[in-house]
Structure 1
Amino acid sequence: MTWSTREIAELSGTTVKTVRHYHEIGLLEEPDREPNGYNKRYEVCHLTRLLQIKRLTGLGLSLAQVAELGTAAHGHPSVFQEIDAELEATVERIQSVRQELAVLSRPGATPDVPTVFHEVAQPLRDNDRALLTIYSQLFSEESMDALRQLLATNPHEDLDEAFRDLPADADDATRQALAEWMAPFVGANRSVTLETKAGTFREAEAARNAVGQALQALYNPAQLDVLRRARELSPAMGTAPDQGAKEALGGSDDAPE
């Protein structure tokens, strides 16, 4: 018994267009034709091959990989191992996405900060939130977790508010007073060392430059000046590359002097 193109497509759960495409790329052998030279006569071997192709592509193989495998019974284990590794990575990504969606589904959740900062984001302002987003891209998960824990302690709400409310035209006395207030908390006991995700010196340098640009864009000159003065006044100055994490979310040494 033989089948027409339409019949073989229906039996294999595919389409006439797909069957013809497989012929064009050499994935499926052309069948014999009826004596009239027009109608094709598909046999069991063609149905078997179509079902093999369907199964393999359903497992994630590309048509090129299916062609490489051919019809050999032993196959190529490395191809299947590669697909399995890709699927494992996909599953991990999906699980991570689901975890984030679960957090964002909670009452009061906000999508404009990284999920890890959900519980401490409430008092933060737009510039703080933006900086957290940038930090999460540039710095390690361990650094972000340490920064989250520091923000969660929140023992100096008055200082935080004074810094965030500081106007760009604040006079020198106001800046100095705020810097002196802030300095004790910029030391080692209240600092976070932010380690970049960068794998090369060039990438690390790019990350530091990005932080500097972000600080200049998100905080006014008076605030940046206070951060600089506080670092200079801090007895622990120089113990970590990113001091004063509580103020300006870890005001970087890349802030303009």
Structure 2
Amino acid sequence: MWSTREVAELAGTSLRTVRHYHDVGLLDEPERRSNGYKTYGVEHLVRLVWIRRMTALGFSLAQVAAMDADGVDDAAAAELDAKLAADIERLQAIRGDLRALRTSTVPSDLPPELSAAATAQRLSPADRKFSVVLAQLVGPTRAEEYARMLTAHGRTAAGDDFDRLPADADEATVDDVVARLLPDVLRQVIDFPDLGTWSVEGGHDQRTAQRVILATLSELYNPAQLQVLSRVAVATAAARDAG
């Protein structure tokens, strides 16, 4: 009755797709006319329409092959339904992020849970980039905690001096910045102790995260700033152990 192209058009699919269904055993090969061309009938068309409907619902070709038109495999349907529910939740979250981006006046370089706080506290470009990497490593819960810390502990003169610290700063200048920055960091640690504990929510193990953080710090900050960060980290750890 119909050629391959005609039956494909009637079923709302493509010539290539029909041939692929033959190759994977989903659609029986039709008889050929005396001229060698395939002739498709109603059964082929009905089968094609059914396959197209099942694949449009989201079933894989392997799942379709295991079914018949009399019913749908319940386990496969349940698996697909769970996947669709997860997809809907993910897409709703994306729509929420898009709504926030469209109505927000802050830049979009940081994740939503950090952007407003980081912008309000005038983080330096290096600090913003570090915050992006940190949020990616620790996950949204810790990122939100970090945002609360930024809001609670605004910028100080010591933080501004750290941002302006030249790469060739002398030892006395580095010592001065360390001495003035350390109390700020210690207050942050006291008020937000969870920030000092590791979180697996970001999907990364602690050793990998530490390597990434060290590489990020080395790229974003100059040698004098790295000295300050190292000394502050050592002093903070000692204070935490002592307390």
Q: TM-score, normalised by structure 1?
A: 0.78
Q: In structure 2, the residue corresponding to 1:237 is in which secondary structure?
A: helix
User: What is the aligned partner in structure 2 of residue 171 from structure 1?
Assistant: 170
Q: Identify unmatched segments of 5+ residues in structure 1.
A: 241-257
User: What is the aligned partner in structure 2 of residue 30 from structure 1?
Assistant: 29
Contact kept in structure 2, 1:163 and 1:178, CA below 8 Å: yes
Higher helix share: 2
Q: Which amino acid aligns with 1:51?
A: V
Quick one: which of 220, 223, 239 aligns to 2:222? 220
Q: In structure 2, the residue corresponding to 1:121 is in which secondary structure?
A: helix
User: What is the aligned partner in structure 2 of residue 158 from structure 1?
Assistant: 157
Q: In structure 1, the residue corresponding to 2:52 is in which secondary structure?
A: helix
Q: CA deviation at 1:225?
A: 2.1
Contact kept in structure 2, 1:143 and 1:195, CA below 8 Å: no
Q: Distance in 2 between matches of 1:80 and 1:154?
A: 51
Q: Aligned in 2, Cα 1:156/1:73: closer, same or farther, shift over 3 Å?
A: same
Q: Aligned in 2, Cα 1:51/1:181: closer, same or farther, shift over 3 Å?
A: same
1:6-21 aligned within 5 A: 6-21=5-20
Contact kept in structure 1, 2:168 and 2:224, CA below 8 Å: yes
Q: In structure 2, the residue corresponding to 1:105 is in which secondary structure?
A: helix
Superposition CA RMSD, Å: 2.9
Q: Distance in 2 between matches of 1:15 and 1:113?
A: 43
Q: Which amino acid aligns with 1:103?
A: A
Q: Which amino acid aligns with 2:227?
A: D
Q: Which amino acid aligns with 1:64?
A: A
Q: Which amino acid aligns with 2:219?
A: A
Quick one: which of 55, 59, 68 aligns to 1:57? 55
Q: Which amino acid aligns with 1:161?
A: D
Deviations along 1:158-207, one digit per CA (max 9) or x if unpaired, are: 2221111112222222222222222222223245325232799x932111
Q: Aligned in 2, Cα 1:32/1:184: closer, same or farther, shift over 3 Å?
A: same
Q: In structure 1, the residue corresponding to 2:103 is in which secondary structure?
A: coil
Deviations along 1:53-73, one digit per CA (max 9) or x if unpaired, are: 01011011222322222x263
Q: CA deviation at 1:148?
A: 0.5
Contact kept in structure 1, 2:138 and 2:202, CA below 8 Å: no
Q: Distance in 1 between matches of 2:221 and 2:183?
A: 21
Q: TM-score, normalised by structure 2?
A: 0.82
Percent of matched pairs sharing the same residue: 37
Q: Distance in 2 between matches of 1:212 and 1:78?
A: 47
Deviations along 1:74-99, one digit per CA (max 9) or x if unpaired, are: 43222222222222232222223222
Q: Aligned in 2, Cα 1:119/1:39: closer, same or farther, shift over 3 Å?
A: same
Q: Number of residues paired by the alignment?
A: 236
The answer as to 2:231 corresponding to 1:229 is: yes
Q: Aligned in 2, Cα 1:160/1:38: closer, same or farther, shift over 3 Å?
A: same
Contact kept in structure 2, 1:139 and 1:194, CA below 8 Å: no
